[in-house]
């Protein structure tokens, strides 16, 4: 373990060596657990590495505190009354009602997610919520697709799409133009849902992440970078289920 002192802080980091390469010499990455990973080509001296780390110390410390903040807030789900779950960017409290005679289901009542089930079982609550999120996703995403389809001249009506659980993505568009959206996306604020839907729709005109693609996206959603940052910043919270 290497370290660098910056003000009152000590930055400890793992150093790995890479093959010589042109351009940026030292790359720094802060993992979600707060570990700092530095990669530098063989020919970079330890002094140069420490210098590079010191130069980016403020950024590193900020990333570490963001990671710590997120870890504090991400606790395993228990699926019991009083726990909060996200929907369209807001936290909603769960209210679990157990009654052997009621029909199982989920309803949003005065901002609370009311879950009715026949026996006390977090696994059942989890499954009911999952079904509810999928239904809401289908409705909300379809609504956004319909609205964009009216505005975007390269579309003949809303394109087909499906909900697909993805590990690292909110949405994708296959080379054949099949759009997939993650069922977790509906937990994010509306503008984030819009951003992902619009991003995939732009792929129906520009398949790759080319300059033309980003020009199109810039024109249709000028602040998309901020929206994307917001979404990425919430990822750990939203994917926690
Ligand atoms: Zn894309």
Residue range 110-126, pLDDT digits in tens: 999 999 999 989 999 99
Q: Can you tell me the mean pLDDT for 125-133?
A: 96
Q: How far is the CA of 200 from the centre of ligand 1 (A)?
A: 6
* pLDDT band (50, 70, 90) for residue 206: very high
> Residue 199 class from Cβ within 10 Å (0-12 exposed, 13-18 middle, 19+ buried)?
buried
Q: What is the CATH number of domain 84-238?
A: 3.30.2010.10
Q: Can you tell me the mean pLDDT for 89-111?
A: 94
Q: How far is the CA of 198 from the centre of ligand 1 (A)?
A: 10
DSSP letter assigned to residue 42: T
**Sequence-distant (≥ 6) Cβ neighbours of residue 133 within 8 angstroms:** 87, 183, 184, 186, 187
User: Above 80 in pLDDT, residue 24?
Assistant: no
Q: Tell me the C-alpha distance between 15 and 3, whole Å.
A: 10
Q: How far is the CA of 196 from the centre of ligand 1 (A)?
A: 9
User: Above 90 in pLDDT, residue 4?
Assistant: yes
Q: Tell me the C-alpha distance between 175 and 171, whole Å.
A: 14
User: Above 90 in pLDDT, residue 22?
Assistant: no
Note the pLDDT of residue 132.
Answer: 97
Neighbours of 145 (CB within 10 A): 21
Domain positions in the chain: 2-73, 84-238
> Could you tell me which of 8, 67, 7, 6 has the C-alpha nearest to residue 33?
67
Q: Can you tell me the mean pLDDT for 3-13?
A: 91
Task: Please answer whether residues 46 and 2 qualify as being in contact, where contact means their C-beta atoms are separated by less than 8 angstroms.
Answer: yes
**Which of 66-70, 160-164, 178-182 bottoms out in mean pLDDT, i.e. has the lowest?**
66-70
Q: How far is the CA of 176 from the centre of ligand 1 (A)?
A: 14
User: Above 90 in pLDDT, residue 69?
Assistant: no
Q: Tell me the C-alpha distance between 117 and 177, whole Å.
A: 40
Note the pLDDT of residue 96.
Answer: 95
Q: Phi and psi at residue 145, in whole multiples of 5°?
A: -60, -45
Q: How far is the CA of 130 from the centre of ligand 1 (A)?
A: 26
Q: What is the pTM of this model?
A: 0.70
> Residue 149 class from Cβ within 10 Å (0-12 exposed, 13-18 middle, 19+ buried)?
middle
User: Above 80 in pLDDT, residue 23?
Assistant: no
Q: How far is the CA of 28 from the centre of ligand 1 (A)?
A: 25
Note the pLDDT of residue 168.
Answer: 81
User: Above 80 in pLDDT, residue 241?
Assistant: no
User: Above 90 in pLDDT, residue 66?
Assistant: no
Q: Please give the mean pLDDT across all residues of the chain.
A: 92
Q: How far is the CA of 199 from the centre of ligand 1 (A)?
A: 6
Task: Please answer whether residues 182 and 169 qualify as being in contact, where contact means their C-beta atoms are separated by less than 8 angstroms.
Answer: yes
Count helices and strands (H / E) in the chain.
Answer: 6, 11
User: Above 70 in pLDDT, residue 97?
Assistant: yes
Q: How far is the CA of 138 from the centre of ligand 1 (A)?
A: 21
Q: How far is the CA of 145 from the centre of ligand 1 (A)?
A: 16
- Name the token pair of 105: 């289901």
Residue labelled with tokens 């994307």: 228
- Percent of the chain beyond pLDDT 90? 72
Q: How far is the CA of 140 from the centre of ligand 1 (A)?
A: 20
Q: How far, rounded to the nearest angstrom, does the alpha carbon of residue 143 sit from its chain's CA centroid? A: 21
Q: Tell me the C-alpha distance between 111 and 4, whole Å.
A: 48
Note the pLDDT of residue 11.
Answer: 94
**Sequence-distant (≥ 6) Cβ neighbours of residue 6 within 8 angstroms:** 54, 57, 58, 61
In sequence order, the β-bridge partners of residue 96 are 115
Note the pLDDT of residue 25.
Answer: 80
User: Above 80 in pLDDT, residue 128?
Assistant: yes
Task: Please answer whether residues 40 and 25 qualify as being in contact, where contact means their C-beta atoms are separated by less than 8 angstroms.
Answer: yes
């Amino acid at each position: 373990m290497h370290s660098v002192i910056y003000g009152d802080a000590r930055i400890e980091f793992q150093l790995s060596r890479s093959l010589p390469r042109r351009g940026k010499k030292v790359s720094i990455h802060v993992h979600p657990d707060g570990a700092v990973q530095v990669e530098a080509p063989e020919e970079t001296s330890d002094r140069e590495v420490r210098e590079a780390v010191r130069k980016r110390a403020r950024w590193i410390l900020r990333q570490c505190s963001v990671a710590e903040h997120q870890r504090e807030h991400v606790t395993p789900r228990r699926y019991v009354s009083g726990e909060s779950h996200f929907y369209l960017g807001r936290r909603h409290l769960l209210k679990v009602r157990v009654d052997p005679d009621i029909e199982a289901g989920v309803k949003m009542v005065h901002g609370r997610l009311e879950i009715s089930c026949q026996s006390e079982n977090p696994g059942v609550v989890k499954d009911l919520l999952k079904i509810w999120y999928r239904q809401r996703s289908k409705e909300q995403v379809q609504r956004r697709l319909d609205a964009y389809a009216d505005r975007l001249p390269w579309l003949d009506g809303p394109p087909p799409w499906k909900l697909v659980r993805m590990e690292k993505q909110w949405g994708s568009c296959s080379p054949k133009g099949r759009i997939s959206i993650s069922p977790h996306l509906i937990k994010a604020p509306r503008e984030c849902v819009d951003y992902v839907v619009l991003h995939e729709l732009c792929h129906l005109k520009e398949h790759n992440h080319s300059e033309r693609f980003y020009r199109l996206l810039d024109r249709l959603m000028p602040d998309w970078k901020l929206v994307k940052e917001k979404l990425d910043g919430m990822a750990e919270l939203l994917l926690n289920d």
